[in-house]
A = this chain, B = another copy of it.
Amino acid sequence: MKKFLNKPETFVDDMIRGIMAAHPDKLTYVNDDLRCVVTAKVKKGKVGLATGGGSGHLPLFLGYVGDGILDGCSVGGVFQSPSAEQMLEVTKAIDSGAGVLYIYGNYGGDIMNFDMAAEMADMEDIRVEQVVAGEDVASSKKGEEHKRRGVAGIFFVYKVAGACAAAMKDLDEVKRVAMKACDNVRTMGVALSPCIVPEVGKPSFSIGEGEMEIGMGIHGEPGIERGPLKSADEVVKQMLDAILADLPYVKGDEVAVLVNGLGATPKEELYIMYRKVDEMLKEHGIKVFHVYVGEFATSMEMSGASITLLKLDDELKTYLSMPANTPFFEQVQL
């Protein structure tokens, strides 16, 4: 295991201490618990947006806490859910009377804990609503969308819901917009190499030299095809064909695109992939509104990438275009 760390058991806390030290004007934590991260500037009367999940996916999850997106995040160990108590503390800190929306990925531990946190919040008279994001088309077949894993596409859900909340809409409205994004977003990933959980010390799976796995999840969940590494264009075609057929995205649609690196894959390769995405979308008569290329949801040093499409209407375009400013993501008005 070749990582810059002190001890595996302090990996997450050392990381959060570094984040807090680097961005003291933007982030803080509550209840004397480093893993209860909240924005330094809670806005009165605004719907609070909270997320949470395991560590090891930066900028997911806490990286989207900031102006124009999320207000708080509970942080688990590497690939582990945070606790319901931590979620509750974040909820209490970011509620300013308008209620709180939880947006998180479709993983068993997170669902259980967020459900429990919502119940506890209810007992404290904080209104909480929940949106569970899951858009990995490789993880469950069409017709069983509710079983799908949440991966990089949750960025789009955060972005539009965050902008809606920043526009001072009420909780029902922010939830409606978040769900609209969930309904219109699809992702597929491909992995070339595993990553190592610090406290485990060895890779959780292996991929042979010269092999790839299409559809693999961000914790190494099984994909749909393992085989020899193909050309970038072939890999993209296989992934995008599956995405396009799933919603389906059709001629005349307008989309935002995210080409996401899983950790070790350089931006050079992500743009080589995007070249083919752009070509295919043109062939399908699908218009591109805006493109994001970079690391938005990672698995530490895993090598691989994912492609996400979000189908847009005027409302989603408006919210996607609004500015945002967090330590990990800055966007001026599009």
Contacts and interface: CB of A to CB of B under 8 A. Distances in A.
Interface of A: 2-7, 11, 14-19, 21-23, 55-56, 58-59, 63, 192-193, 209-210, 212, 229, 231-233, 235, 263-275, 278-279, 291, 293-295, 298, 300-301, 303, 305, 323, 325, 327-328, 330-332
B2 A298 contact: no
A170 B279 CA distance: 42
A75 to B, nearest CB: 11
B301 A266 contact: yes
A90 B159 CA distance: 36
A17 B282 CA distance: 14
A232 B6 contact: yes
Q: In the complex, which of the residues A23, A56, A271 has the most CB atoms of chain B within 10 Å of its own CB atom?
A: A271
Contact of A21 (B22, B263, B275): B275
A19 to B, nearest CB: 5
A17 B293 CA distance: 14
A322 to B, nearest CB: 13
A22 B305 contact: no
Contacts of A301: 264-266, 303
Given A4-B232, A18-B274, A332-B325, A266 B263 contact: yes
A229 B2 contact: yes
Nearest to A78: B268
Contact of A268 (B11, B233, B268): B11
Contacts of A209: 2
A57 to B, nearest CB: 9
Nearest to A236: B4
Contacts of A15: 268-269, 271-272, 275
* 4 A-B pairs with the lowest CB-CB distances in the bound complex, closest first: A18-B271, A18-B275, A264-B264, A21-B278
